[in-house]
């Protein structure tokens, strides 16, 4: 369908990696890979406020984390300035652009007194100004006709040239602006398809005009809908949680985030939601991209995360949870610790939504001095039967030949039977004694992993504490 397209993802370094950017990058990547094309990474750092190497590293590592790999780049626009300067010069020489020394305030004032709509009034268009410090280079937009964007997702969008101001190509300090650098680079990098957020649609006719002025053919455009917040506004750093890094830190798995993101504005056309990369590659197409903005819904993304976490092998869960474990003072990463973690892993991977929840599920195994959840402790303490239950449990468990989950369960069921208590009721104080909490992995598995010695002493200890409290 498309022959070896060349696409690019061209983020501007802002100090964090925006989820909307991640989605755009993903669509570009999928499109390129689907048709055997090339994915180029280009950093748009022409604005001096946006060029810091650690920000660029941040973009790269976030992309890598999401498994979005680039074939070329990262190219830095800040290192390609001469290219833009040459293009600007040729535009000026051809009479397609002119220098302007107007200050913003002057323009605003003129426009206001003339009762014109806000924007540039073309004051310098015919003044024949030469290049000089402080003078910006503006593009001479044709007065008549229209510029059409044949958008791959939106169809034909026409703009009246009369509504487009003479925009700035090069700043007074010689720095190129977005439209210029963007066009020059897309040309130089032989980009065939520009897949980007819809917010760029209104500036696309400007870009097309520049391509034409340069005597070149414009690439194909595809504008994908933006991501919005619950108030349906474009996601912004100020008011919304937009950094991919934040979600990584919260404990989202990259595959969960990627899978969630691909479904924002695109669908495979059937009821499938959990998709592998292979399936996405097989199914992705621009004409299945929707036209309306999507709400970035963390709750639904959490659902994907739960799913992918539940699929993790014990080893993979450990690996993924390591950063959270290592932040805990009880974790030393010893072989013993790892092996008991691995034993309990199958029980915890269906019980958490975020990797950051892992420590609270396993901490009881590693704490020398068990930390009790306050509410859990007081609910056990307030129940008069707790102490007897605990003392009795020590007797029962210490007589076991083998301290395994099955034996523990059999013993407890028999005990419940004879005492007339439900298994559910009976396990409450035991669970709190063992794990310090009311919720957690299945009790008998937890006990098996902890081992008989520690279990028995914790049981006795809590019983003792309740005695003292009396």
CA pair distance 234, 242, nearest whole angstrom: 11
Q: What's the closest the beta carbon of residue 291 comes to RNA, in angstroms? A: 3
Residue from 202, 314, 385, 404 that binds RNA (CB under 7 A)?
Answer: 202
Could you tell me which stretch among 27-35, 66-74, 201-209, 367-375 binds RNA (CB under 7 A)? Answer: 201-209
Q: What's the closest the beta carbon of residue 16 comes to RNA, in angstroms? A: 14
- Return the residues of window 279-318 that contact RNA according to CB under 7 A: 288, 290-295, 297, 299-300, 302-303, 306-307, 310
Residue from 53, 64, 67, 163 that binds RNA (CB under 7 A)?
Answer: 163
Residue from 50, 193, 387, 458 that binds RNA (CB under 7 A)?
Answer: 50
- Return the residues of window 108-137 that contact RNA according to CB under 7 A: 117-120, 134-136
Could you tell me which stretch among 57-65, 225-233, 331-339, 461-469 binds RNA (CB under 7 A)? Answer: 225-233
Q: Is 442 near RNA (CB under 7 A)?
A: yes
Residue from 95, 269, 368, 420 that binds RNA (CB under 7 A)?
Answer: 269
> What is the b/e burial string over 99-130, where b = at least 16 CB atoms within 10 angstroms of the residue's CB?
bbebeeeebeeebeeeeeeeebbbbbbeeeee
Active site includes 384? no
Q: Is 251 near RNA (CB under 7 A)?
A: no
Question: Which residue in 112, 143, 237, 371 is the catalytic one?
Answer: 237
Residue from 110, 200, 338, 392 that binds RNA (CB under 7 A)?
Answer: 200
CA 150 to chain centroid, in Å, comes to 30
Residue from 319, 334, 350, 398 that binds RNA (CB under 7 A)?
Answer: 350
Q: What's the closest the beta carbon of residue 468 comes to RNA, in angstroms? A: 26
Q: What's the closest the beta carbon of residue 8 comes to RNA, in angstroms? A: 12
The 390-429 contact track toward RNA, x by CB under 7 A, reads: ---------------x---x-------------xx--x--
**Residues with a known catalytic role:** 237
């Amino acid at each position: 369908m498309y022959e070896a397209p060349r696409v690019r993802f061209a983020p501007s370094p802002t100090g964090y990696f925006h989820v909307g950017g991640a989605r755009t990058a993903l669509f570009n990547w999928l499109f390129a890979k689907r048709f055997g094309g090339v994915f180029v990474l280009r950093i748009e750092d022409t604005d001096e406020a946006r060029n810091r190497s650690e920000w660029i590293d941040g973009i790269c590592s976030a992309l890598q984390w999401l498994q979005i790999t680039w074939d070329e780049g990262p190219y830095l626009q800040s290192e390609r300035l001469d290219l833009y300067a040459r293009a600007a010069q040729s535009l000026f020489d051809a009479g397609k652009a002119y220098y302007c020394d107007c200050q913003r305030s002057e323009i605003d004032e003129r426009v206001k007194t003339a009762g014109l709509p806000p924007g540039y009034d073309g004051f310098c268009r015919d003044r024949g100004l030469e290049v000089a410090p402080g003078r910006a280079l503006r593009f001479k937009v044709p007065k008549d006709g229209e510029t059409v964007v044949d958008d791959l997702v939106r169809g034909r969008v026409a703009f009246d040239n009369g509504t487009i101001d003479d925009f700035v190509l090069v700043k007074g300090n010689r720095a190129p602006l977005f439209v210029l650098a963007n066009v020059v680079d897309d040309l130089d990098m032989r980009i065939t398809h520009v897949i980007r957020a819809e917010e760029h649609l209104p500036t696309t006719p400007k870009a097309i005009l520049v391509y034409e002025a340069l005597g070149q053919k414009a690439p194909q455009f595809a504008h994908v809908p933006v991501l919005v917040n619950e108030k349906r506004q474009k996601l912004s750093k100020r008011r919304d949680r937009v950094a991919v890094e934040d979600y990584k830190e919260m404990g989202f798995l990259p595959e969960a985030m990627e899978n969630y993101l691909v479904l924002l504005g695109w669908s495979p056309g059937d009821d499938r939601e959990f998709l592998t990369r292979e399936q996405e590659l097989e199914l992705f197409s621009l004409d299945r991209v929707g036209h309306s903005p999507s709400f970035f819904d963390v709750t639904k993304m959490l659902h994907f995360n739960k799913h992918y976490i539940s699929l993790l092998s014990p080893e993979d869960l450990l690996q993924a949870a390591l950063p959270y474990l290592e932040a805990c003072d009880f974790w030393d990463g010893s072989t013993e610790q790892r092996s008991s973690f691995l034993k309990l892993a199958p029980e915890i991977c269906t019980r958490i939504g975020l990797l950051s929840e892992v420590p609270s599920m396993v901490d009881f195994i590693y704490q020398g001095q068990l930390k009790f959840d306050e509410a859990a402790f007081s609910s056990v303490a307030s129940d008069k039967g707790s102490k007897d239950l605990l003392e009795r449990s020590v007797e029962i468990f210490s007589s076991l030949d083998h301290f395994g989950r099955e034996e523990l369960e059999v013993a407890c069921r028999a005990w419940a039977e004879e005492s007339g208590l439900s298994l559910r009721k009976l396990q409450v104080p035991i669970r709190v004694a063992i794990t310090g909490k009311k919720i957690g992995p299945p009790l008998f598995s937890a006990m098996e992993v902890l081992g008989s010695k520690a279990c028995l002493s914790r049981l006795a200890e809590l019983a003792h504490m309740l005695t003292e409290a009396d």
